[in-house]
């Protein structure tokens, strides 16, 4: 998703054809690892 700007968890899930809950868990794991530069989990 690099270079795509900000997008919601729902939009990421739609783009990668995955369940929102699964993508949310993946993003949470990445955040704990300190990988994303910016994020909002609302």
Q: Name every residue whose Cβ is closer than 8 Å to that of residue 39 and which is 6 or more positions away in sequence.
A: 27, 31
pLDDT at 19: 97
* Every domain of the chain and the residues it spans: 1-42
Q: State pLDDT tens for residues 2-34.
A: 777 788 899 999 999 999 999 999 988 988 888
pLDDT at 42 over 90: no
Band of pLDDT at residue 38, cut at 50, 70 and 90: low
pLDDT at 41: 55
CB neighbourhood size of 19 (10 A): 10
């Amino acid at each position: 998703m690099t270079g795509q700007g900000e997008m919601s968890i729902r939009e990421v899930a739609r783009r990668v054809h995955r369940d929102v809950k699964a993508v949310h868990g993946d993003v949470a794991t990445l955040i704990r690892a300190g990988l994303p530069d910016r994020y909002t989990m609302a």
